[in-house]
Copies of this chain bind each other. A is one copy, B any other.
Amino acid sequence: MNSQRPNLPTNTTEFIGTAVLDTIGLLIPNIDPALQAHTGYDPRYRSLGVFSSRTGAAGQIMAVDEAVKATNCEILTIELPRDTKGWGGHGNYIVLGSESVSDVRRAIEISLELTNVNAGELYISQAGHLEFAYSARAGAALAQAFDVPYGQPFGFICGSPAAIGLVIADTAVKASHVEIVKYMTPNIGTSHSNEVIIAVTGDASSVKEAVITARETGLQLLNSMGSIAESPTGIPYL
């Protein structure tokens, strides 16, 4: 990624940075009132952090989750376009709001940094992809996106083609005592992606074990389809 900082008018918008997976983080210091009215966002938050990626969902939402914990920002929307640059999954589009420009700026900086870390648990082959995530304590973003109770451990298990997703979901919940809080398929809760996804909670070690078990089986299944799955960074965090 050969990222170059653009020369923008500072009164309108600010370029914060880019990250892996075609992720960009931007800042609108003071949203135009006419546009604000169309967005439906709470008008108290005039400063918006705007973040999106072509590929990935849980990793970036977890990155934003940490960013919101560390700053005085609110999540205004988390949307999952059907994207992944030709693969069978989602990208993401997330807007944060704050009364403070500097809080939004910091939140987007953190989100970009952690996106690079979390991308280590995304695995992509020629045939499909897998995405895993684990957080010891879900904040507002994970609670909103995946119905995990605030403050509780969060595990995310996703496989594409969708058949792999269901099988590794089953493997995970058999291997470890966890509770399923979200269940998604091409017709249920996704943007028609070719994925089955579960989010789980429970005690921290059980949730982590469920995710790691799913990863092991998922990589075996995806690699059985004829090409080797790799993460964009090559650095798993689990």
Contact = CB atoms under 8 A, between A and B. Distances in A.
Nearest to A33: B173
Contacts of A1: 225-226
19 contacts: A5-B224, A6-B221, A13-B167, A15-B221, A18-B226, A22-B127, A24-B164, A25-B163, A26-B166, A35-B169, A35-B183, A38-B198, A50-B166, A51-B163, A77-B185, A83-B193, A88-B91, A91-B194, A93-B196
Interface residues of A, number: 81
Nearest to A108: B163
Nearest to A190: B81
Given A26-B221, A52-B162, A82-B82, 7 more contacts: A18-B225, A24-B224, A28-B167, A38-B198, A86-B86, A93-B162, A192-B192
A128 B13 contact: no
A13 B216 CA distance: 13
Report the copy number of this chain in the oligomer: 3
Contacts of A193: 81-83
Interface in A168-216: 169-171, 173-175, 179-180, 183, 185-187, 190-196, 198
Interface string A74-115: 000101111101111001010100000000000000000000
B171 A54 contact: no
A53 interface: yes
Contacts of A224: 3-6, 15, 18, 24
A161 interface: yes
A220 B18 contact: no
Contacts of A5: 224
A21 to B, nearest CB: 10
A217 interface: yes
The 10 A-B residue pairs whose C-beta atoms are closest, nearest first, are A6-B220, A86-B86, A191-B192, A81-B194, A81-B186, A93-B162, A52-B163, A38-B183, A52-B161, A79-B186
Contacts of A186: 79-81, 93, 191
A227 to B, nearest CB: 8
